[in-house]
Structure 1
Amino acid sequence: MLYSQMDSKSNPCFALPPFYRSFLLLFFFFFFFSLKTHLSLPTDSLSLGQSLSGNQTLISKEGNFELGFFSPSTSNNNFYIGIWYKKIPTQTIVWVANRDAPIFDTSSAELKISDQGNLVLLNGSKSPIWSSSSSPSNSNATTAVLLDSSNLILTDSVNSSIIWQSFDHPGDTWMPGGWLGFNKITGEYQSITCWENPENPARGPFSESLDPDGSDQYVLLYNGSQVYWSGGLWNGQYFSSVPETARHTMFNFTFIDDRERKYATYTMTDSSVITRFVVESSGLGQQLLWLSNRQEWQPVFTQPLSHCDVPSFCGPFGLCDLESPSLCRCPQGFEPVLNEEWELNDWNSGCKRKTQLKCGTKSNLNGGGEERDGFFMMINMRLPSNGEKLKVRNAEECEMACLNNCSCSAYSFDTSCLIWTANLQNLQQLYSGDQGGGMLYLRLAAADLPSTNNSHKVKTVVTVSLVGGLLGIIVIVLFGLIWLRRRWRKSQIVSKVEGSLIPFSYGDLRHATKNFSEKLGGGGFGSVFKGALPDSTQVAVKKLEGSRQGEKQFQAEVLTLGAIQHINLLRLRGFCCERSQRLLVYEFMPNGSLDSVLFKKDSAIMLSWNMRHRIVLGIARGLAYLHEKCRECIIHCDIKPDNILLDADFKAKVADFGMAKLIGRDFSRVLTTMRGTIGYLAPEWISGLPISPKVDVYSFGMMLFEIISGQRNSTYFEEGSKFYYPSWAAQKVIEGDEKCLLDSRLGGEADLEEVKRASRVACWCIQDAEMDRPTMGQVVQILEGALEVNVPRIPRSLQHLMEDQISHMYDDVSSVAEQGASESSQGAYK
């Protein structure tokens, strides 16, 4: 009775007749059942009849990945269906479905399986925006499942076979377990294509794919056709240009070529490691690792190494400048086409003229009326490769040929005339040590030329000055002819000092060295003397002795150093080849060789850790330039502290190229006779195998241990026992006790993170197998902190040495090294 009173008073519905109450209950039952079916989804799958919209997501079984709607930008309402990492705090997208067709209202949009068996995305008007297009109309596809590999699959209800999967259609990311290759049956390429910019996942101009020419290598492409980086051919274990994939034991790469497909895939030895390979919107391809302790992505390797090697990186008329904070800038008279894109570091749109050219008007061509177009001189530029060569007699005719062509944007004249029509692409500002620089004259409207307003004043001043100075010049010439005749030989030297290589006479050098009176040092190939050129520039003159070996070293030095310049390579200023005399003239290094400063107990100079780190980085940059930037790869073959010289500011310069070996870019290694110094020789030298630039890497690693510790790598004495130092040092690196390697004279004053990186990279450099050693370019990146370096392993050869500490062989090595330590402070010249 109490309950019936409450029903009739508090809830009028229950006062209705029984028939209506039953009808209402049945209605609410079906309503909530239908609502629940629409809102709640299985954790990792979407079945036929279900849809995903709004904030609904799928989460993979172990919670690694999530699928749903996302917006990459806060400045617009563009939404996409994508997959991202669930366990990483910052949303990192690995796949996008509708990357070229955003939607604008997620509440009314739907992701579902259509009656035709396709996974489709419908907008608010229920029109298809994207479809998997996976199967014919009689498909039995009923379920889409998000796997813990990030692969989204569509399965058949009959036999659970996979009808469609996202790994067959990657975006900008290549995930572990995914594949890139070529389907021989359908003729389709699987490739990854960059986002247009970080806020727009639409397809950009850069992609990675199996080489379209059919070779077994992967390439980075610009606009789908222009190859700007290649990974090298598959050698059965890894792609030859990226040995990092073999050196990092966490990666397992596989290349498969069967009747149906040709493709590569990779997995991780440790499933807990989070990694991905992505083609950035900048055109760089990067393998990234997630560092949970730092909560950030860390590049394992990056290709190509320089942003400026990416085609059209800065767009039309954009100028790539590695020393500019933003990497790209517009040259004189130009401004960004789209400022908002440049603010996102998307420079593909390039630059546009501030003022249009006046070309084609009669007054402009005849020099009357409006001021005509002019040219802005750009110094030390990498010239675009698509220039048109003209036959002209001089620079003036080259300039006029460009000026009279309304399509001409720039010209250059060296020994021949080159002009560029329409847009300029791939401009790069070069600096000291870079090869291939030239002078480019960029065409500008008169208003954009520097100092245009003062041009008439300048002309007037110049004219008056010329007339006034002409009389003085006549008088000066009369007296100057007499003086010039007396100083002719010396003035010839001075005029060539700033050139590439000066041919000196023997008399020139005998006078410059005061008859070879001040000896700096000597060695097996001859002696080194201090000298001064007529303009007071100090030089070091190496006088080679011994007919056969001296001639070999002379040719090697001239061929190697004559064509290259780098801030960390000793500059060869000139040479003398007169009858039997062979002399080489170098820039003078006031602080001598590294070994004289590093190892001498009575040295007045104490290298701080900062100085040592700067020296190590300079040596690495010099070697990376020799190995990777020169037209022909140059292997030094004798890297040791004796061959590293220090200038007045203690900047390191690699010296003594008498043993250097040049190999063409088409060859990765060369067979040659053994050369170098005991204690720094790579195992392949001793085994008689063909060598590669990795022999320099091995020597660099041995020398790096010496720079860290301040002692020779030959022996290490502790409590009366003799230890082979590199094996002891490698063991300490494995144990994480890098600080004990530090030179005791430093008193622990050092950046321990830099010491750890340097010690680890030294241990990687001296690995027995050359494929396990990094390239010098990677060494530079590691020392700069741009690449993370893992804990290395002890080389097998050093493990054997540790088991037999007092071997007679190491007594011999010790005696040779101790003899080397007593050599001259200018040993690098010898």
Structure 2
Amino acid sequence: MVVEQILLSYTIFLAILLPFSSSISPSVQFVNYNSTAYLPASWTNMHYDPMMTPILLRESDGPSYVCGFYCNSGGSDGGCLFGVLIAQGRLNTGGYLRSSELVWSANRNNLVQGEATLQLKEDGDLVLANIDGTLIWSSNTRGKSVSGLNLTEMGNLVLFGPNNESIWQSFDHPTDSLLLGQKLAPGQKLTASVSASNWSEGRLSLAVGSDGLSAYIESDPPQRYYESGINSYPYYEFRKGSFNDFTIPPASVAQFMKFGPDGHLKVYQWGTVGEFVEVIDLLNPYVGDCGYPMVCGKYGVCSKGQCGCIETTNGQESYFSQITFRQPDLGCSLITPISCDHSQDHTLLELNNTSYFASDSSSYSITTVMEECKSKCLSSCSCKAALFYNDRYQWGRGNCFLLNEVFSIINNENYIGSPYNTTLLIKVQNANTSRRKTIILAATSGAFFGMVCLIGSCLVLLRRILKEADEIEGDFLNQVPGMPIRYSYENLKAMTEDFKKRLGEGGFGSVYEGALYNGTRIAVKCLDGLAQLKDSFLAEVQIIGSIHHVNLIKLTGFCFENSHCLLVYEHMANGSLDRWIFGEMRSYSLAWRTRRKIISDIAKGLAYLHEDCSQRIIHFDIKPQNILLDENFNAKVADFGLSKLIDKDQSRVVTRMRGTPGYLAPEWLSSTVTEKVDVYSFGIVMLEILCGRKNFDSSKIEEDRHLLSIFKRKAEEERLEDMVDRKSGDMLIHVEEAVEMMRIAARCLQGNFNNRPSMSLVVKALEGLVVVAETNLDCDFTNSSTVRTEAAGDQGQVVVYVGSPILPSTLSGPR
């Protein structure tokens, strides 16, 4: 049986830990070993139990608590939490193994995988890290006098000091549950999970404020569905038999309170059936079955617990349809979406005999008349509905509440909430006007029919000429040695499911995800505008199609057909580097060794391009957006659309300015450049990786907007350690190594390109084989002239203006 296997697994776990108990602290005794640990200590998610890897245990004949790694769906693929669970009875009677419930977690928004570690460090910090060393969560108690970690009899996880004083405790950081004796104070809140299977924070919250206890859904502004009134309590406390003004049936068994994904605040206790059962729903008597924000989903109407959509009468146009007829509680959608570009077609549906749960959100409402309320909503595109509730003492006037989102609507017949006479005004897109415009357009288009035929004949002739030119170009590509597979446009259209999933967008077009017929995932780059980008396409196919290196993106195929230019690459699971250092994945904070490896990979890829190919290849556009990462964070250089082939015996090349502002070397002023422009761009990327910010950030104060300005200043002050990414705990551990790497970046950023090392020398420096960053460093990483460029005529020439000093981040040129 599963239970017997789990008990055996836990016995093995204790047997492994027992020999190390004396190394944790000389004073630890077996009687309190399970509930207390002393620093330093470390635990790993070992999967002895498919659902739980216990760390600390607090047993009793009543409520028992266990903290440790708790996994979703019984395995590492679903992700794991470090959390606290409540159960009934002692371990040897089944305890948490039977039907435990999660009551607190540290990392609900950022799950860890198998073999993640929890460390109680000597500096007093409790740290949760993933298998690759990425910091996931911390108690932020570094430098404080922490002696150990204790799971109390109340289920409170406490970091305590030398006098057993509390330094940090889980009770101060509630998630969606409260335990007996736990308080909910101003500034704290319970946030419901997205669903029972998705532990991430949802949009529903319960908080204590000046208006007492309130429950609301996050919106702009927040929409409250419960409010206790003026707060006469400094906090709300879950006690045996009460939660301030709420009465709770007392019990001698395990009991906890949970704010659920549906917005209900329920108390559960251990039942005779051998699991936790609901005892009381605290808010329901005040809110009612239909008074919860998502009871019937967005735009759904709740009536006696049943869900439907807004219905129109008297032959009016229907504006709403159910998202899924088999699940009406998922809500309804607008048949014609609201368009801000056609605001003249907006109208308001006046719904009678309806109410809205947020009608008591008076702090965000204004006093006015009905017509003014309508006008304010129609004049604001962000307004999706208006709620007007009449003042019982001033006829014709009332409060107007503008809604930027519409959640569940309440049928007035059964609503026990607001006593006010309310009117709900729902904004819809009137499609009739658009139909009339279509009829007028169709009528007038007939007058142009003859002209279209004439133009069409000319286009057919032009297309025939262009097709012959394309065939000549296609024959050229077929003759290039080592070319990858050539696909038809229809094949790539099928492989990408009609270009359904877009991975990103670059300067020359969009990239879509696809799959070969054998299931291999690919990335398909579609170049926009054949006439303007044919040179870029041909350059990329010719260059990358004939070279192979582990740190260069692999081109597996292409399409050159009529007006379609597409490139097929290997799929890179983790996308581009910019997402991880200052984009949407920034919060995951890459570990030091991952950043170091990425820098080394980029250097090796560039060294191959510059020195190991039959012809030297200058990339010209090295930046984080053109560095792609696979599932193991191996880095590969991509996007060779601006690259140029030159002979190995050719030291310099004259070319038009190309690249991206912020990464251009100073010698672009002369238009005579070498491969050292890539070395300069690489230096910028190194700094961005190590500092965790863009080379230009307009949100900073003037003196800190340019990364190179800060770098120069800190280098002169010999305080480069100040620049290391401080949002990453792991980077702060490796400050000295990061500073050494910054010195290599400084060599790459020398204003005189002759003083920059080759990329092969940079690779050796990164591996510690040579030193390139010790002497003769020039901290002026910019040219002494201001450069402003602009296109001149149709030739793409660059006009240069010389003025006062400025950073190279202002350089620009044709892309």
User: Would you call these one fold, judging by a TM-score over 0.5?
Assistant: no
State the TM-score, normalizing by the size of structure 1.
Answer: 0.36
State the TM-score, normalizing by the size of structure 2.
Answer: 0.36
State which structure, 1 or 2, has the greater radius of gyration over its C-alpha atoms. 1
